[in-house]
Amino acid sequence: MSSSILTIIYLIASVTFIVGLKMLSHPITARKGNLVAASGMTIAILGTIFLYKENGVGLHNYAYIFAALIIGSIIGTLSAKKVKMTQMPEMVSLFNGMGGACAMLISVVEFNHFMQIENDEKYTTNYSMLLIIIVGLIIGAVSFAGSIIAWGKLNGKVKDFSFKGQHIFNMFLLLIIVSLSISIFYDFGDTDYIFYGILALALLYGVFFVLPIGGADMPVVISLLNSFTGVAAACAGFLYNNKAMLTGGILVGAAGTLLTVLMCKAMNRSLLNVVIGNFGVSNAASSSGEQGGAYKEVTISDAAMLMSYAKKVIIVPGYGLAVAQAQHTCHELEKTLTDKGVDVTYAIHPVAGRMPGHMNVLLAEADVAYEKLEEMEDANTNFKTTDVVLILGANDVVNPAAKKDPSSPIYGMPILEVEQAKTVIVNKRSMKPGYAGIENALFYQPKTSMLFGDAKKVLQDLCAEVKAN
């Protein structure tokens, strides 16, 4: 009876995962979608704790189980409440790494269980189970180690590192891992040593896999590692015959993979190129002759005047806006301009910021209407009829070198074509290159004016000046 009830619970949980994922595709329903999926997961966890039985024996050690659940819930809640928007990519990487670590540890536990009963004929011939254990171990370990390195790189604690022939070294390391994994199926004599050797090498591979990748490729890496964690979780679901875990893992793996592909398409690069390209690690400045020239500045009052009397203004948010935590002030400027009859929208590049959808989350937090957000294709069409473009901390996603300079590392990447507008105002703290380390020719163009300063302070001053006009 309990088995039938548990099956129904897993079915309900799986449906909530699918519905929740669908709701996450739109900012208006995303928060509810998160709650729907979380509710399904809660039901699945409680159902497993109280109803799961193997050979008639259920779970025990409830004190340990609930202590872990309570501690984890408290840590997760406090972390989510305290995290700043600029630290959101780091938190995503860290939490994703914890998921990979969980899948990795499940494989370790189940391997030990597998070896204890290897003398039982029905288990020694169950090579499919051993295969799932090994696959879950490798993917989980790579996801864990890679996510921790990504977390360190995003918060500045880990620097980009590469050496000559590193990709060859990585391929050789992967070949050893695969070879050792195959050898387990032919020799059970030293299986323990081989298994833990695979674990160590997979962790090492995860480190060297992410270390050389930096700059504008970090959002893609985070998405890719997220898909790895989903696949590892699906392997764990297969091991335990847990439909909810299997469904959740498949959904996360598929969604992460699709998002990775879409982001690569948005950058006009293949996934292989992202993984081995080292984009943003040692990029030299673009060789465009426009760079290194003179730039002009604009005052707050002049910038406010230009926007106050414009018919259409497009705001391009970037990581600088997140650093300054100026999303609410930006929304205030938008409302102030709208009250004056100015048509204000936002142009969103798919890989702006340091994680997938970073700018969408940032603006949603400030209650910016979803209808105000324009995707790159629509924005590029509208720039031609725009009076003023205000760029807030964005750099690489508006760099014309991607279109004009074949020697640039970002050449071929689709960008927001802001230079087509009548006037471009760029807010930055300084003239330093962006996260990808590439100098921007846009800053030296005749129609571009620089507005230096902290984004929040600049936006506050602009609001005051616009209201005064």
Token representation of residue 391: 């760029």
> Higher model confidence: residue 57 or residue 295?
295
Considering the candidates 396, 405, 454, 461, report the single residue annotated as catalytic.
Answer: 396
What is the reported pTM? 0.78
Token representation of residue 381: 């069409």
User: pLDDT of 50-81, one tens digit each?
Assistant: 888 777 777 888 999 999 999 999 998 898 88
Confidence bin at 435 (pLDDT 50/70/90)? low
- Which spans in 267-312 are helix H? 271-277, 300-308
| Backbone φ, ψ for residue 93 (5° rounding) | -65, -45
Whether residue 353 contacts residue 76, with contact meaning beta carbons closer than 8 Å, is answered with: no
Provide the residue ranges of all domains of the chain, joining segments of one domain with +: 1-82, 84-282, 300-468
Question: Quick check: 163 pLDDT over 90?
Answer: no
Q: What is the pLDDT of residue 188?
A: 58
Average pLDDT over residues 26-34: 83
- At what angle are helices 88-116 and 127-154 packed, to 10 degrees? 160
Whether residue 307 contacts residue 466, with contact meaning beta carbons closer than 8 Å, is answered with: yes
Confidence bin at 199 (pLDDT 50/70/90)? very high
In this structure, CATH architecture of domain 300-468: 3-Layer(aba) Sandwich (3.40)
Confidence bin at 423 (pLDDT 50/70/90)? very high
Tell me how far apart the alpha carbons of residues 394 and 321 are, in angstroms, rounded to a whole number: 8
Tell me how far apart the alpha carbons of residues 178 and 275 are, in angstroms, rounded to a whole number: 19
Q: Is 396 a catalytic residue?
A: yes
In order of 9, 10, 66, 354, the CA distances from 51 in angstroms are 10, 11, 15, 42
Proportion of the chain above pLDDT 90, given as a percent: 45
How many H-runs (helices) and E-runs (strands) does the chain carry? 18, 8
Tell me how far apart the alpha carbons of residues 249 and 243 are, in angstroms, rounded to a whole number: 10
Amino acid code (one letter) for 177: I
